[in-house]
A and B are shown apart, each in its own frame.
Chain A
Amino acid sequence: SQTIHQWPATLVQPVGSPLSLECTVEGTSNPNLYWYRQAAGRGLQLLFYSVGIGQISSEVPQNLSASRPQDRQFILSSKKLLLSDSGFYLCAWSVGGAETQYFGPGTRLLVL
């Protein structure tokens, strides 16, 4: 069966520090991968999606970047965190263009 992992689970970082969040998927090949952010009291906002290695599409201009160095690995990064980057970051995967997306456990980021 397929599983999706994210780490770390929680993170407290100072403003201006770098960020690297990792997501890996097991049990499937060539998944579509997604990064979402959920701010308190708000809906999930799609940040990036990827249909293959090295293929990244950005949904909104922001302080973050994403990379997909391997088929089942998706990384979210920032060179300098802002206070507004605080939130709950969720990685998700789907099989190609399938409708259902499955979410990882998320990383809760607090920027101080």
Chain B
Amino acid sequence: RKEVEQDPGPFNVPEGATVAFNCTYSNSASQSFFWYRQDCRKEPKLLMSVYSSGNEDGRFTAQLNRASQYISLLIRDSKLSDSATYLCVVRRPSGGYNKLIFGAGTRLAVHP
């Protein structure tokens, strides 16, 4: 079982739709949580951190449920430019430093 699990998708949605991605993690020592965005054949870029109280950045809302070890990302009013792969990432201690563990990503395709 992967330490960070995501539905690979693809999620095909029309412009303006609301779409939600889920992620689960298995290691309870995980301390910090993030969503990264990766465009096709490009490097991942940090989209947003995820806080226990939930946080919002424009059209993007991230939520964390530590008890269930579950993270979500909600995108409202989808734009064509939101088409990308969204990576769920957790950070946990490993051998004296903090390590990032990446999910395989959920692919989003927004169509006109």
| Interfacial residues, chain A to chain B (CB-CB below 8 A) | 32, 41-44, 46, 49, 51, 57, 59, 88, 90, 97, 99-106, 108
Contact = CB atoms under 8 A, between A and B. Distances in A.
A44 B102 contact: yes
Main SS of the interface on chain B? strand
Interface of B: 2, 4, 8, 32, 34, 41-46, 49, 87, 91, 95, 97-105
B42 to A, nearest CB: 7
A103 B97 contact: no
A58 to B, nearest CB: 11
Contact of B42 (A51, A59, A102, A106): A106
Contacts of A101: 100
A105 B102 contact: no
B87 to A, nearest CB: 7
30 contacts: A32-B97, A41-B8, A41-B104, A43-B4, A43-B87, A43-B101, A43-B102, A43-B105, A44-B87, A44-B100, A44-B102, A46-B100, A49-B97, A51-B97, A57-B95, A57-B97, A59-B99, A88-B41, A90-B43, A97-B97, A97-B98, A99-B34, A99-B49, A100-B34, A100-B46, A103-B43, A103-B44, A104-B43, A105-B42, A106-B42
